[in-house]
Structure 1
Amino acid sequence: MQVTTTFRHMEVSAPIREYLEEKLARVKKYIDEPIDAQAVLSVEKKIRHCVEVTLVAKGIIIKGTETTNDMYAAIDSAVDKIERQLRRYKERIKRHKPLSGRERQVRKAIVQAESLEEVDAEPVIIRTETFFVKPMSVEEAVMQMDLLEKNFLVFTDADTEELNVVYRRSDGNYGLITSQQKD
């Protein structure tokens, strides 16, 4: 785990940095991938100790913040919050039983921007990517979209086996686009 620690409005403290790294080592049991941690430790008005920890791993970004009168207590509380979030997400993913063999293959193409500006020109595809879309419920699709911090997610509905898209609306809610076949 790579930990970057920033001290604001306080002197750099090796014992506090070591304590933070020791506490953050606990979250490695939830994520197997390499983890980057960024911590900002600050003191406001000489009595408020603020800790903001951001973890980035496997497309997941998790933040934990805490403000108390003691820096060590703030570190404990912020790391506990992150640990609870990771445990909750890991349990949700464990509960979901993927339906193997029912994935769909989807192809994504990226079009060159200059070809869109010209009126008579055909769009030029500069990269094509193929990936599998696994069956999942709408709730799991929203969770996966949040974990990956994406604005939309294409998935196969586990019940109907239709291709669907869930997206984040500008008002903060979620939208769902479903596909239906004509009769």
Structure 2
Amino acid sequence: MNIAITFKGFEPSEHLKKYAYRRFGKLSKYVDSKEDNSEMQVNLGVEKFRHLAEVSLAGDNINLTATEASEDMYATIDMVLDKLESQLRKLKDRDKDRRKGDRSRVNIETFTISENESGMRERTIMATDSIEPKPMYVDEAAMQLDTLDYNFLVFRNADTERINVIYRMNKHDFGLIDPGQ
């Protein structure tokens, strides 16, 4: 994360510069470190007795701003940092919830169809099971079904976040059921 700090209306001490860089640098733990293209612009200024801090953080999936004012620059930095940290924590939690998706369960019933005395066909449930499909890509599901001795596999498509079924058509071919298409 690139941090740029500008000072307006006063000449900062060396200690204040180090403090600001150290404090705002701690926010990098909330930003994705794999592809870190995020930029943080910090504007610290003084107007009469008010010490102002304006911060904007822009990145791939982030666009946050926060402002604070107080009578002490160190306190202003801490307050704006708390605001940004709270916003980043919310964003990270929301991202985590989105990745989890809705953990819907799929019910699987095993049944037989037989004829009763009057010649009507009737369904008899032999077993009921409930599974939570694992998120995986279609290629992964095909490889897993190839190694298993089943005719189909229910999974959560990692690309679309929908429940899909991959089934064996013949020895080497598979079919995919995606109800959202």
The CA deviation at 1:133 is 7.0
The CA deviation at 1:14 is 2.4
Where 2:44 maps in the other structure, the secondary structure is strand
Match of 1:26 in 2: 26
Q: Give, as a single letter, the amino acid of the residue that structure 2 aligns with 1:44.
A: E
Task: State the number of aligned residues.
Answer: 109
Alignment of 1:89-108 (within 5 A): 89-96=91-98, 97-98=100-101, 100-101=136-137
**Greater RCO (Cα-Cα under 8 Å, separation 6 or more):** 1
TM-score, length-normalised on structure 2? Answer: 0.53
Where 2:31 maps in the other structure, the secondary structure is coil
Match of 1:9 in 2: 9
Gaps of 5+ in 2: 102-134, 139-157, 163-178
Match of 2:75 in 1: 73
Distance 1:49 1:14, change over 3 A: same
Distance 1:51 1:134, change over 3 A: farther
Match of 1:58 in 2: 60
Distance 1:90 1:21 in 2: 22
The CA deviation at 1:11 is 1.2
Distance 2:61 2:95 in 1: 14
Judge conservation of contact 2:6–2:43 (CA < 8 Å) in 1. yes
Distance 2:161 2:16 in 1: 45
Judge conservation of contact 2:43–2:55 (CA < 8 Å) in 1. yes
- Residues 82-91 or 2-11, more deviating: 2-11
Match of 2:176 in 1: none
Distance 1:11 1:134, change over 3 A: farther
Deviation per CA, 1:44-69: give whole Å up to 9, x if none: 12x10000111122231111210000
The CA deviation at 1:8 is 0.9
Distance 1:6 1:19 in 2: 14
Deviation per CA, 1:117-155: give whole Å up to 9, x if none: xxxxxxxxxxxxxxx97449xxxxxxxxxxxxxxxxxxx
Distance 2:72 2:180 in 1: 53
Judge conservation of contact 2:46–2:52 (CA < 8 Å) in 1. yes
TM-score, length-normalised on structure 1? Answer: 0.52
Deviation per CA, 1:25-54: give whole Å up to 9, x if none: 221111123232111001112x10000111
List structure 1 runs of 4+ shifted beyond 6 angstroms: none
Match of 1:149 in 2: none
The percentage of aligned residue pairs carrying the same residue is 35
Distance 1:134 1:73, change over 3 A: farther
RMSD over equivalenced CA pairs, Å? 2.4
Judge conservation of contact 1:68–1:74 (CA < 8 Å) in 2. yes
